[in-house]
Amino acid sequence: MIEIDHVTKRFADYVAVADADFSIASGEFFSMLGPSGCGKTTTLRMIAGFESPTEGAIRLEGVDVSRVPPHKRNVNTVFQHYALFPHMTVWDNVAYGPRSAKKDKAEIKRSVDELLDIVRLTDFAKRKPGQLSGGQQQRVALARALVNYPSALLLDEPLGALDLKLRHAMQFELKRIQREVGITFIY
């Protein structure tokens, strides 16, 4: 589903990613591990479209997207510092994307309710982000990223802001959510 074909990324003469060459199957929970500075974030940013490869190609579902902007790629990203809208309720935060895309009202309600159920926040739908714990806020960010059913979700250390215990709990939650929605996760 995602092919990283001999990708090198240089910033001026600094090589941030050197000849990355791998592919990720549909529905896979794919993790990139490596020391700080080895190029994980840069690789995610190239898959998402925020950077383009200096050499090589990135293909999503067989199509070369190396020069396609982020909003035209069917992938979504949750960054370590997820920005929720503080003045909006949990429900409105999740509904923001589909509303901007002018989706049908009934369809928006169905998908937002479904995602809130999956991340187990149905009872928190009317709260604002400031009234939630860190892990709950993280799950809102996940629901928001998944509500348009992207073909892949990119997660850049999304649990980095959480304490160790919560991070472990959320790792299991992420696996469960990924199984339920059947979307490719890259972590």
Ligand X SMILES: Nc1ncnc2c1ncn2[C@@H]1O[C@H](COP(=O)(O)OP(=O)(O)OP(=O)(O)O)[C@@H](O)[C@H]1O
Region from 39-47, 57-65, 102-110, 140-148 binding ligand X, contact rule CB under 6 A: 39-47
Residue 37 binds which of Mg ion, ligand X, none (CB < 5-8 A, kind-dependent): ligand X
Beta-bridged to residue 22, according to DSSP, are: 4
Long-range contacts of 11-20 (CB under 8 A, 24+ apart): 16/42, 17/42, 17/43, 17/46, 17/53, 19/56, 20/56
Residue 139 binds which of Mg ion, ligand X, none (CB < 5-8 A, kind-dependent): none
Region from 8-16, 83-91, 125-133, 166-174 binding ligand X, contact rule CB under 6 A: 8-16
Region from 11-19, 70-78, 91-99, 169-177 binding ligand X, contact rule CB under 6 A: 11-19
Do 153 and 180 contact (CB within 8 A), yes or no?
Answer: no
Q: Is 77 in the site for ligand X (CB under 6 A)?
A: no
Question: Look-up: residue for tokens 């090198």?
Answer: 8
Residue 42 binds which of Mg ion, ligand X, none (CB < 5-8 A, kind-dependent): ligand X
Do 52 and 66 contact (CB within 8 A), yes or no?
Answer: yes
Residue 85 binds which of ligand X, Mg ion, none (CB < 5-8 A, kind-dependent): none
Residue 95 binds which of ligand X, Mg ion, none (CB < 5-8 A, kind-dependent): none
Q: Is 111 in the site for Mg ion (CB under 5 A)?
A: no
- The residue among 36, 47, 62 whose CA lies nearest residue 9 is 47
Please say which residue, 34 or 182, places its beta carbon nearer to ligand X: 34
Q: Is 77 in the site for Mg ion (CB under 5 A)?
A: no
Number of H helices, E strands in the chain: 5, 8
Task: List C-alpha distances in Å: 116 to 22, 47, 95, 128, 177.
Answer: 33, 27, 10, 14, 11
Chain positions contacting Mg ion, by CB under 5 A: 40-41
Chain positions contacting ligand X, by CB under 6 A: 11, 14, 16, 34, 36-42
